[in-house]
């Protein structure tokens, strides 16, 4: 496996072709083993992964503390190569419930102060609000991040799950390095207007959900029982007939993977990698075993015939069910 590099936009840093999304190590997918999580981050850094993605609300700070521990205990050379992307702004209650988003400038700086402390770093490489705050113009939120850049606490402005109009408004205030948004074989909504806009403006995309939360990983079975603290227990794509339909798509994809001698997860990640040098897939591995499998996607080459077969097996808009429950979809500016 040879780790390639890509650049976040025209203003951002050079990063590894695959990034590590660390959310599942702290939240939303059931219990995780802390020691294995730290070992997985170390293994990712050792393999040449440089981009680590988190959110200050993942486990109410747990994920940032976890990454801080992993960086603190990593070899100095690996620690220095790490670039950390942080999402902020999601508000939660003591019961873990979601109560909204806060993009006010004072809140932006407050969130950053706590993140810097938990991560144990002197700056955040890419900083972005997790969802658009409907009560605060994006210009004010981005302006606050720009001030943090001037003060040396942040390196680059990012965006998350916003639509084309919001991207343009944000870019008029400060250079935007990157948009983080869901993108996979079965989540291709960005292709209509969002991706053309980021490409016009020289903004890269870090794609999360490239395996659709494990749905198209090749490891999710029809009879799997999900814990109450697993997001997928409430996700429309994992329910009833939707699940059966979506796993039929995975079965079709599996045939193509088997013909190439690779796994379903590897071909799904390789497909995202093939969509352009401006797209950096985030792999959500929680264990070294899954990390190794995902990194194997870097050695998968998809030719024109492969891509045609994949498109026929999993056409755009083929998935059944929304990617989030109804209440969460209402907060996605990218869906408007």
Q: How many whole angstroms separate alpha carbon 175 and alpha carbon 9?
A: 9
CA–CA gap between residue 272 and residue 209 (Å, rounded): 10
Element (H, E) at 286: none
Q: Helix 34-46 to helix 288-295 angle, to the nearest 10 degrees? A: 30
CA 6 to chain centre: 16
For residue 88, what are the contacts with CB-CB under 8 A and spacing of at least 6?
55, 56, 57, 108, 111, 112, 115, 127, 128, 129, 130
Tell how far CA 232 is from the center of its chain: 16
Please state, in angstroms and rounded to a whole number, the distance separating the CA atoms of residues 331 and 334: 9
Helical (H) or strand (E) element with 197: helix 194-201
d(C-alpha 290, C-alpha 45), whole Å: 15
Give the C-alpha separation, 96 to 163, whole Å: 27
Retrieve residue 192's tokens: 């209509």
Distance CA(327)–CA(336), nearest Å, equals 14
What are the CA-CA distances from residue 1 to residues 155, 156, 273, 279 (Å)? 30, 29, 15, 19
> What tokens appear for 205 in the block?
């995309």
- What is d(CA 336, CA 320) in angstroms, rounded to the nearest whole number? 19
User: How far is C-alpha 68 from the chain's CA centre?
Assistant: 19
Spatial contact of 210 and 281, defined as CB atoms under 8 Å apart: yes
Is residue 58 part of the annotated active site? The answer reads yes
Question: Which residue numbers are catalytic?
Answer: 58
């Amino acid at each position: 496996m040879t780790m390639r590099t890509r650049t976040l936009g025209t203003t951002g840093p050079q990063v590894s072709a695959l990034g590590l999304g660390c959310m599942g190590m702290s939240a939303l997918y059931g219990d995780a083993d802390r020691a294995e999580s730290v070992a997985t981050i170390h293994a990712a850094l050792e393999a040449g992964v440089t981009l680590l993605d988190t959110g200050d609300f993942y486990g109410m700070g747990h994920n940032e503390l976890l990454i801080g521990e992993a960086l603190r205990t990593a070899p100095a050379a690996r620690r220095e190569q790490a670039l950390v992307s942080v999402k902020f702004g999601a508000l939660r209650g003591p019961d873990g419930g979601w109560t909204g988003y806060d993009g006010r400038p004072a809140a932006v700086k407050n969130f950053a102060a706590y993140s810097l402390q938990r991560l144990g770093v002197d700056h955040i490489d890419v900083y972005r609000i997790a969802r658009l705050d409907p009560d605060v113009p994006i210009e004010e939120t981005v302006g606050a991040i720009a001030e943090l850049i001037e003060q040396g606490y942040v390196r680059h402005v990012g965006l998350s799950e916003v639509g084309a109009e919001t991207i343009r408004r944000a870019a008029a205030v400060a250079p935007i390095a990157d948009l983080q948004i869901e993108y996979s074989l079965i989540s291709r909504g960005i292709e209509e207007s969002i991706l053309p806009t980021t490409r016009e403006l020289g903004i890269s995309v870090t794609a999360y959900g490239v395996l659709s939360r494990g749905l198209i990983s090749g490891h999710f079975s029809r009879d799997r029982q999900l814990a109450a603290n697993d997001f997928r227990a409430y996700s429309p794509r994992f329910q009833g007939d939707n699940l059966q339909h979506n796993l039929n798509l995975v079965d079709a994809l599996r045939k193509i993977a088997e013909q190439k001698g690779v796994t379903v997860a590897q071909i799904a990640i390789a497909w995202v990698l093939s969509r352009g040098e401006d797209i950096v897939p985030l792999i959500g591995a929680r264990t070294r075993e899954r990390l190794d499998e995902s990194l194997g996607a870097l050695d998968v080459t998809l030719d024109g015939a492969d891509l045609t077969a994949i498109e026929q097996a999993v056409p755009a808009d083929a998935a059944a069910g929304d990617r989030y429950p109804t209440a969460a979809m209402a907060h996605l500016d990218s869906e408007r």
